[in-house]
Amino acid sequence: MKAASLAAIALALSSSLACYAESTPQQVWDRLKEGNKRYLAGKSIHPRFDAAKRQQTALNGQKPIATILGCADARVPPEVVFDQGFGDLFVVRVAGNVCAIAELASIEYGVKYVKTPLIVVLGHTQCGAVDGAVSGAALKGSLPKLMALITPTTDKTKKSHPELKGNDLLNAAIEDNVRNSIAEIRKNSPGLTDLVKQKKLLIVGGIRNIEDGTIRWLSN
């Protein structure tokens, strides 16, 4: 890549980073959408493990722009999906993107102490955790405890949509599961809910299609 192109990218990144602290929740959301478009077009500009950025964050601390609650699935890496660099996202990942106490506490830390104005609950198609809850598969170890967090939602999906089967049922359950995690955040964290009411925080949900990479944003 030409030196002029590298300089242009560096300038764009530094300008973007400089205004993150002053960004509104909507502006941060728009940045993530723009990053996803770059990723889909094969035009990602953020280095994943930049030595200079690593040193900067070690010396000056982390300053991510958004908190992401995502699934542990290896096919949904938030930094890559949203074309964000090292230290740009505060990521909480757990199978099924559930929001129990550990996840909620981590999210609260990202918002209250790291000062991110946006929370994204990011699910994805073909989610194995949700599929396990829908099918009632017999699982071993600690997995039944995880299923217990998801099954109430998938049971409601089945009851609300008795006509759905197979992938259609799974896709509906995946969406309901994302919405349930958002509801859990709002219900169990009055502090975050107050920030939403003050328009200092935005909580949004999305579902990444693991086949084509697109993200379908859910209406609030």
pLDDT, one tens digit per residue, over 52-105 is: 777 887 888 789 999 999 999 999 999 999 999 989 999 999 999 999 999 999
Average pLDDT over every residue of 4-10: 44
Residue 20 has pLDDT above 60, yes or no: no
E-state strands within the chain: 66-70, 89-93, 118-124, 202-208, 215-217
pLDDT one-digit tens code per residue, 25-46: 999 999 999 999 999 999 999 8
Backbone Cα Rg of the chain: 18
- On whether the CB atoms of residues 201 and 25 are closer than 8 A, the answer is yes
- For domain 24-217, the CATH class is alpha beta
pLDDT at 57: 78
- Tell me the average pLDDT of the chain: 90
In the 3-class helix/strand/coil scheme, how is 16-31 assigned residue by residue?
Answer: HHHCHHHCCHHHHHHH
214 three-class SS: coil
